[in-house]
Amino acid sequence: MIHGVNFASAAAGIIFYSGSDLGGHISLAQQIQQVTDTFQQFELNLGEVAADDFISKSIFYVSIGSNDFIHCYLSNSSNVKTMYQPREFNKLLATTVKQEIQNLYNANVRKIVVMGLAPVGCAPHYLNSYGSEDGECIDEINKVMVDFNSVMKEIVDKLNHNLSDAMITFCDAFQGSMDILDNRQHYGFETTTEACCGAGKYRGMGMCLGPQMACEDASVHVWWDEFHPTEAVNRILADNIWSGMHTSMCYPMNLKDMTKLNQ
């Protein structure tokens, strides 16, 4: 475990019932509880002092939130749209993330990377379902993503100011993704609209159910299926998170700089 642990759960969201339509999953709060349970194992194996030092020098990566829109708000699961305006829903999500970051801080975590949301309104599923004529992204969806990122970045700034020794960075996945969409030829992509695997217009209908549905070369596609980007896109974003290789999308520092602090 000391080399890295992944607590991610498929279909999980920031709030508990996001993704519940897809079956059992582990929400963000439950994942954070698993993190603190793991810390107890560190203390048993390393001793309390060594464990605290190890945790404070480790980097924690928090990337969650898309499912709160895809499988909750945009699908109007549990009539959530009738309860929250987009801005209110964003504040609910961001405030929940803030509390979990504080829970990590209280457990001696100091270095945290918080990912923002990507341009969900450009996903093939929504291009298809909203009737995009020529592959234009759905602005009304993307505006909500931009607003969430703005709220989350502001919260990260405040946490860095209020929490002693905290080194929290916010990485704007929307900004990094739009750079790829706007400069697809530079990055070697042939299409920014059609998924590699799926059915219907833009291959935005249904998940990838078998190899016969997939394209021959996923690396020239931005989208793997109706919602998820390809490995090629994730590699570019990972390079940006690490060092800002292609475009600067992390504030106030990238991951490479964070690793140099208090080693």
Q: What one-character-per-residue DSSP string does 203-222 give?
A: G-BS---SGGGB-S-GGGBS
Structure tokens at 162: 């209020």
For residue 161, how many other CB atoms are within 10 A of its CB? Answer: 8
| pTM recorded for the entire structure | 0.93
How high is the pLDDT of residue 20? 62
Q: Which residues contact 186 (CB under 8 A, 6 or more apart)?
A: none
Nearest residue to 112 via CA among 260, 244, 262, 258: 258
How high is the pLDDT of residue 171? 98
How high is the pLDDT of residue 71? 87
Q: Which residues contact 198 (CB under 8 A, 6 or more apart)?
A: 124, 204, 205, 206, 207, 208, 213, 225, 226
H-helix segments, the chain: 28-46, 48-57, 66-68, 80-83, 86-106, 124-129, 139-162, 173-182, 184-187, 231-243, 255-259
How high is the pLDDT of residue 232? 98
Cα-Cα-Cα-Cα dihedral sign, residues 101, 104, 110, 111: negative
User: How far is Cα 95 from Cα 147, in angstroms, rounded to an integer?
Assistant: 14
How high is the pLDDT of residue 1? 77
pLDDT tens sequence for the chain (263 residues):
778 999 998 888 998 777 566 666 888 999 999 999 999 999 999 999 999 999 999 999 999 999 999 988 998 877 888 899 999 999 999 999 999 999 999 999 999 999 999 999 999 999 999 999 999 999 999 999 999 999 999 999 999 999 999 999 999 999 999 999 999 999 999 999 999 999 999 999 988 888 899 999 999 999 999 999 999 999 999 999 999 999 999 999 999 999 988 65
